Structure 1
């Protein structure tokens, strides 16, 4: 007979109409029966899966809303991976991680847990935060964002206690826990200028990460990977580096934004990107949002006033030169 836990999972999934979990439970049952050499039953289960009708996607997108707690902000994400322009290797790694989470019962039938610890590395504005949100959206779980301003205090031992509360809450849920600016907490403990309290916080943080079950996907992001404690690196099963986007990637992202915002003007996206220079995705989005606001306020909804585009571009070029000098 099949394992009782698999049968209970299947019954619960069917009663709650969780089709994805039904499919993963049936896959695990088929795998278990195949391992027992019950090939007829295993083949019948596989056939049922193969001929089952595809699920209908939910066309209603929930708005991204947030609820604050003492140590984190809870976000119900709406940004999907298909909305992002990620390097191919990152997209493939994330797709594999998502499949592992969706088919956890099949993996557990072979005593293997899905990966759930991801380190996102790279300069700001190139998709790390958006990736954490999209990962939560693909898994249909909330995104819990750690609030450093409420967790980190100057009182001895209190930071570690606050971290323990956040991680305890995360362990009780199926969620993505996002730790932005991870180097703020996970600094190298060999730094002679740091106090013993900092070292205790890092040790406690690593212990909390180790204790997370696989249904909690922890995403840590850093712009300064060189500052991370060496013990941090081996905690994470996936280490994804986000480089600055290429010219073609920036142009494609600009095209997507123009279409999404309904913007029309004569200058090509390539021309605008070349004028803006080597900037991040976040800065490109800021530029187009600023331009669209100016168009709306000027009553130029069709984008016929090219002088308006030129003025905004000139302002951004001045801003870029000022940043380079500073």
Structure 2
């Protein structure tokens, strides 16, 4: 059965002749039905929004058009929040967000909505994308990743129009909408070097974010928060920093790695962490994959400790190559 609050909103919107509210409510109904796997009925609801007074379809529904686009890639989440090593504040904030989304009906009974806008900042390779995927996994919804190469156009107004289609598509389903490298479309409008077009894109983008229903969780990530428009910051109820890992976090990563893979490396997590300080989580994971790869190829008699030492030596030399003339690491 459809949610009573949505049916009531639908009747109120129709009685007032409020077409904008009527459309939003139908989209929310479609998203609710899609979450119950009633996809055919959900598609029918959206299709009716594009039928004229004579019963003829005015245009192809945006949801159908987006699937053939695509401006987004739908990802089935495989990362779990429990698998990630997060700062305590970030882990707590994410768990609160998930609880609010799961108990949205209780909040709505008190005229409250769950939070649904998350800004992630920090250097590359430290879990921003993984966290977005983990949130989608915890909510049991798909992760929609925006494809900038398809969205950003060269003609006036093209980018804003395509972004509008992205948001229109997202509003018809429960999902996590993820913008990586958000500074590509959310740049500071006061920057004298930017064109009028990017300023219009930012203005349109902020309006679209404001209009998102709470069942769509939008997560944006940036490696360069200093480039973001000032108005972007206040749009997001949750703002989290994911910094480079500290030694204790790297040690914890290796403890989990040994448990997950069943390989005892013969080198203590502390020893490895001390020598791999300065690497991102993505690089540490790549290091671990290198070890597993060599163990697999060496067969059942593999000397795990020797392999770990060899791979570590290679990575230490790799770090030296990254060092510039001043002796500082990139």
Task: Provide TM-score, normalisation by structure 2.
Answer: 0.77
* 1:229 equivalent in structure 2: 229
Q: CA deviation at 1:145?
A: 0.4
2:68 & 2:127 partners in 1: Cα distance? 23
Asked whether the equivalents of residues 264 and 303 of structure 1 are also in contact (C-alpha less than 8 Å), the reply is no
Q: CA deviation at 1:305?
A: 4.7
* 2:122 equivalent in structure 1: 122
Indicate whether 1:269 and 2:269 are aligned. yes
* 1:217 equivalent in structure 2: 217
Indicate whether 1:86 and 2:121 are aligned. no
In the TM superposition, 1:1-326 aligns within 5 A as 5=4, 69-299=69-299, 301=300, 303-325=302-324
CA RMSD of aligned residues (A): 2.4
1:190 & 1:220 partners in 2: Cα distance? 21
Alignment gaps of 5+ in structure 2 = 9-33, 37-66, 325-329
Change (3 A) 1:218 1:288: same
Structure 1 residues 180-228: Cα deviation after superposition (integer angstroms, max 9, x where no partner):
1011110001111111111111111111111110000000001111100
1:323 & 1:312 partners in 2: Cα distance? 17
* 1:56 equivalent in structure 2: none
Runs of 4+ displaced beyond 4 Å: 6-9
Query: Secondary structure of the equivalent of 1:74?
Result: strand
Structure 1 residues 26-53: Cα deviation after superposition (integer angstroms, max 9, x where no partner):
xxxxxxxxxxxxxxxxxxxxxxxxxxxx
Asked whether the equivalents of residues 178 and 218 of structure 1 are also in contact (C-alpha less than 8 Å), the reply is yes
Asked whether the equivalents of residues 263 and 303 of structure 1 are also in contact (C-alpha less than 8 Å), the reply is no
Change (3 A) 1:68 1:135: farther
Alignment gaps of 5+ in structure 1 = 10-15, 19-66
Query: Secondary structure of the equivalent of 1:85?
Result: coil
Structure 1 residues 141-179: Cα deviation after superposition (integer angstroms, max 9, x where no partner):
000000111111222211111111111100111000010
Task: Provide TM-score, normalisation by structure 1.
Answer: 0.77
Change (3 A) 1:7 1:216: closer
